[in-house]
Amino acid sequence: MAKIVLDFKIFDDSGLQKALDIDKIAMDDAGQGSPESSSEEFSPTEVKIERELQNFFNQSIKESNRDSLESVIASSSALREADGHDGQISSLESDLNAIYAKNKQKIQNLHQKFRVDKDNLNFFKKEHNLRAPADLKSSSHKILSIAIVSVMFIFESTVNTGFLNGALSGGIMGALSLAGVISFINIVASFIVGRFVIPNLTHKKKSKNNFAKVVLAFYVPLIVFINCSLGVLRSLLQNAQETFNTEALAEAALKAAWPFDNFATNSVESNALIIIGILFAVIAILDGLKFDEPYPGYAKFTRDSMKSEDALQEAKTKGFDTLYAMQKAGNDQILKFKEDRDNANTNWGNAIDSVQAGFKDYEDWVRSLNRIGNVLLNQYRSCNKKFRSTPAPAYFDIKHDFGFEKTAKNKFFSLSAENISDEEKRSKMNDVNKVIISEYINATKALNDIYNSKTQDFENLIQRLSI
């Protein structure tokens, strides 16, 4: 805070002298015999001089920073002599209890959920005779699995389209359509079978075992049949088109419905179609089987338990972090209040210095105003005497008192009690400083005891709710 001082302005006597044109008015008054020799009242010009000095005095007192200095002394005195940190500690303890209760309830709720999820997982493992932990796959592994399926689908569709193009009516689009359907069955359907059907072969429930066996009993021959038919069809259609025989084309399609009697006619390209299709189907099935933990439901129960555990651990860590952060913030708040009181003590001392200096400056300033006023009056009177034909009034020879209060303590009564010696000021500041330090130390200890106790309570809670 900038230091506030009592500031008393300097009177512009030369400016007033010019404004009133004192010498000219004095000569004019002398020519008219004014003021009269017997007069005891000031002439109009002398009255103006007196009024200007009094107005200047009153205005200067208003603008002397008196009110600001009084405000600084009052506020700094109140702060430096405040009743310690009891209010702060009470407020901080109340906030701590509210936050602690909230975190405690959250921890208990998360622990309860974790226990439920953990018990569900253990029950599931026991019910299904699972001893090894779930083989959970990472996100990168799953992305790679999807990428493998996608690449195989695109590759097989492209290769099949190239092999079938020219062997089917409809050109490239006809070949692409048939190749896309075959690739979907070989790749996508096989991946689904590997992911959701094959794991049920080891499932505890017989109904799921039987369901998986039925699907595989249907699906495996279907894959072999479709790929063999596609290979045989490609060879037969190519031969039929080479001979431009429409009946041969129809016969080729009919023979492809039972391809196993017509392998002898297969070309190298046709056999490649069969091999690629079956190989990619096997890879897709294995990819689906290894996409994540294969046993149905095991991954879900495991992840639910892990998610609950992670949430509980995160809440525990966050709970401690919150307590430590509140403790630091509380200590910072106590320290700031202590520093504010230190600054208030310093500001009070500066204000006392301002009172001391201001009181001395005021009395010098009043004397200077009286002196300046009398100089202006004497200028008028000397000139008037010089040019008048009658004797000057008797009061011309009397030094005038403008009526300004000469004693600062009477003019600034509200500040008079603060006009103390430097020794007394330093003694009071030292006494207050000792109180501030003592109260700060006691407050810091009391506050940290509160926080440490609450932190210990939280640690005890964590131990009771240990995983």
Give per-residue pLDDT as tens, 69-83. 999 999 999 999 888
The answer to whether residues 79 and 166 belong to one domain is no
Considering only the C-alpha atoms of the chain, give the largest distance between any 2 of them, rounded to a whole number of Å.
161
The answer to whether residues 459 and 328 belong to one domain is yes
pLDDT tens column, 291-334: 888 888 888 889 999 999 999 999 999 999 999 999 999 999 99
Arithmetic mean of pLDDT over the chain: 86
Specify the 3-state DSSP secondary structure of 245.
coil
The answer to whether residues 320 and 455 belong to one domain is yes
| Overall number of domains in the chain | 2
pLDDT surpassing 50 at residue 244: no
Q: What's the CA gap between 224 and 216, in Å, rounded?
A: 12
The answer as to whether 384 is a domain residue is yes
Q: Are 71 and 354 in contact (CB under 8 A)?
A: no
% of the chain surpassing 90 pLDDT: 56
What is the structure's pLDDT at 243? 44
Amino acid at site 170 = G
Q: What's the CA gap between 399 and 313, in Å, rounded?
A: 92
Which one-letter DSSP state was computed for residue 84? Answer: T
Domain that residue 412 falls in: 13-91+312-464
The answer to whether residues 149 and 279 belong to one domain is yes
The answer as to whether 347 is a domain residue is yes
Q: What's the CA gap between 275 and 390, in Å, rounded?
A: 147
The answer to whether residues 273 and 356 belong to one domain is no
The answer to whether residues 86 and 185 belong to one domain is no
pLDDT surpassing 70 at residue 278: yes
The answer as to whether 115 is a domain residue is no
The answer to whether residues 248 and 363 belong to one domain is no
The model carries a pTM of 0.66
Q: State the first-to-last Cα distance of the chain, in angstroms, to the nearest integer.
A: 56
pLDDT tens column, 22-78: 999 999 999 998 999 999 999 999 999 999 999 999 999 999 999 999 999 999 999
The answer to whether residues 320 and 286 belong to one domain is no
